Amino acid sequence: MKRKVISLVLVLMLCAVMAGCDSEESTTTGAGASADKDPADMEIAVIFKSLSAEYWKNMKAGAEEAAKDLGIGITVLGPSDESEIAQQVTMIEEQIAANVDAIVVAPCEENAVIGALEPYADALPVLMVDTDAELEGKKAFVGTGNENAAKLGGDYAAELLGEGAKAVLIGGQQGEMTSSQRLAGFRKGLEEGGVEVLEEQFGKNTADQAVAVMEDLITKYPGEIDVVLCQNDDMAMGCQTAIEQAGEDIRIIGFNGDAACVELILEDKIEASVAQQPYMMGYQAVEQAFKAAKGEAIEARQEVAAKLINKDNAKEYLNGEN
C-alpha cells in the first residue's frame, strides 16, 4: 500500500513539472518562439511616430515591401501626431499583447517607449528605427545618425553665408532625442563656420506651428536673421510661408528630402534639405527584425546614409537618380 502511495505521489509530481514546462513554453515570446516558425505565420509590428507626413508614409512603404518580399505578416501603425506619446505607448502595448514575433519602433519620446518595452525586451526582439532609445536588450538601431546628418546642413549654411551671419533653429518636440540631436548637429556646423545662433525654438513638427514660431522670431529679430534651419521639411515649408508673408530674405534649410520641399528648392524658395532614406530605413528595419525573430545575430547599429539636396542635385533626386 505504501509503495502505491509513493508511486502515485511521484506521478503527480512529474505531471506538475511537465505542466509547468508547458506553461512556461506557452508564454515564451520572440526569437525563441519564432525560430522554427513558417515565415507565413510570423507577424512583425512596426510603430512609427506618425503616419501623416510624407516621410513616415515612405518609411511605411519600405516596411511593407520588405514584409511582402519576406512573405511575413506586418502591422504598421502610428499615432495621429508625433506629440501623441500616450497614443504610441498604447499601440506598443496592444501589439505586444497580440503576441507579435518582433516589434520595430520609432519612439516619440524615449523614456515612455522604454517604459512600455523594458519588461519584454529580453524575450521579444525589439528594434528602433529613425530615432534611437537607450533600451537595454534592444536588438538594433536602424537609421541616420541625426547629429552628423544635421551637421551637413549647418556646414552648408555656414559656407553659403560666411562668418558673421546669424541663424535661428527650429526643433520639433522639446526634449525628444531626434530634436536634440539635429539641433546639436545644426549648431555644430554653424558655429564651426563662424555663424552665430541667435535662438532655438520648437515647432512641434508641424507646418502650422512653424509658421507661428517663425513669425515670432522675425518680430523679435527684425532684419537680423540670415538663415533658419528646421528639424523637418514640414516645418521648413511653414517657415517659408511666414518669411514670404513678412517679405524677409531668409534662407531656409530643412531635413528629410520630402518631394514637396525639394520642389520648393527648385523654385528658389527653400535653399536646401538634408535628405534621409526613409524607404530604405523601413525596409531594412523589417528585414532585420525578421532575422532577429528567427534567432539570427544582427548588427547593433546600422547606419543609413544622408545627403544634402540643393538646387544643383534636386531634379536628379526627385527623379531617383541619386
| Section 44-50 average pLDDT | 97
Residue 43: predicted pLDDT: 97
267: helix, strand or coil: coil
pTM of the model: 0.73
- How confident is residue 36, by pLDDT bands cut at 50, 70 and 90? confident
Residue 39, exposed/middle/buried by CB under 10 A (0-12, 13-18, 19+)?
middle
What SS3 state is found at 124?
A: coil
Residue 22 has pLDDT above 80, yes or no: no
pLDDT at 322: 59
Picking from 54, 118, 132, 130, the residue whose alpha carbon sits closest to that of residue 89 is 118
CA distance 219 to 45: 45
Q: In the CATH scheme, what is the code of domain 34-144+278-305?
A: 3.40.50.2300
User: What confidence tens digit (pLDDT) does each residue in 219-238 have?
Assistant: 999 999 999 999 999 999 99
Q: What is the pLDDT of residues 262-317, one digit of tens each?
A: 999 999 999 999 998 899 999 999 999 999 999 999 999 999 989 999 999 999 99
**312 vs 217: CA distance, rounded Å:** 29
DSSP state of 203: -
pLDDT tens string 260-275 = 999 999 999 999 999 9
**Higher local confidence (pLDDT), 33 or 106:** 106
Sign (positive/negative) of CA torsion 43, 47, 52, 55? negative
pLDDT of residue 34: 65
pLDDT at 20 over 90: no
Quote the mean pLDDT of the chain.
90
pLDDT at 65 over 80: yes
**Residue 176's pLDDT band (cuts 50, 70, 90):** confident
Q: Compute the average pLDDT of residues 47-62.
A: 94
Q: Please check whether residue 272 is in contact with residue 156, taking contact to mean a CB–CB distance below 8 angstroms.
A: yes
CA dihedral for 106, 60, 137, 181, sign (positive or negative)? negative
Question: Is 52 in a helix, a strand, or coil?
Answer: coil
Mean pLDDT, range 9-33, rounded to an integer: 40
| CATH superfamily membership of 146-275 | Response regulator (3.40.50.2300)
pLDDT bin (cut points 50, 70, 90) of residue 53 is: confident
Checking if the pLDDT of 109 tops 80, the result is yes
pLDDT at 159 over 70: yes
pLDDT for the residue numbered 44: 98
Q: Is the pLDDT of residue 23 over 50?
A: no
Distances in whole angstroms, Cα of residue 250 to Cα of each of 244, 270, 301 = 9, 9, 37
Question: How far apart, in whole angstroms, are the C-alpha atoms of residue 130 and residue 142?
Answer: 6
Cell digits of residue 195? 555663424
The CATH 3.40.50.2300 domain(s) of the chain lie at 34-144+278-305, 146-275
30-45: average pLDDT = 78
Question: According to the model, what pLDDT value does residue 276 have?
Answer: 87
